[in-house]
Amino acid sequence: MRKSLIKGDEAYQVWLIKDGIRHNAGTLRADHQGNGVLTYRLNGDDKAFDAIGITLEPDSHGTRPRGKKVLGT
């Protein structure tokens, strides 16, 4: 069994970025194999974004990035 990639209350948070402003697209937690799933329905203005980023947050309750960027365009 592999050790979890995240600890305690940590969670990955997904951000859609438009005109330099980040919008929360949800959070996910990975299992001990590193697998995680997030489903997000793109509506209206959500369909037009410039970039996407994923951060590792201390918990899943943030309204802005607080943790380390782990992936981004």
pLDDT for the residue numbered 46: 64
- pLDDT of 21-63, one tens digit each? 998 999 998 887 888 888 888 777 667 889 999 999 999 888 8
Please tell me the distance from the alpha carbon of residue 4 to that of residue 16, in angstroms, as a whole number.
26
Task: Specify whether the CB–CB gap between 52 and 15 falls below 8 A.
Answer: yes
**pTM > 0.85:** no
pLDDT at 6 exceeding the cut of 90: no
Instruction: Note the residue count of the chain.
Output: 73
Among candidate residues 57, 62, 64, 44, the one with its CA nearest the CA of residue 9: 57
pLDDT at 1 exceeding the cut of 60: no
Q: How many CA atoms lie within 13 A of 61 on its CB side?
A: 2
pLDDT for the residue numbered 53: 95
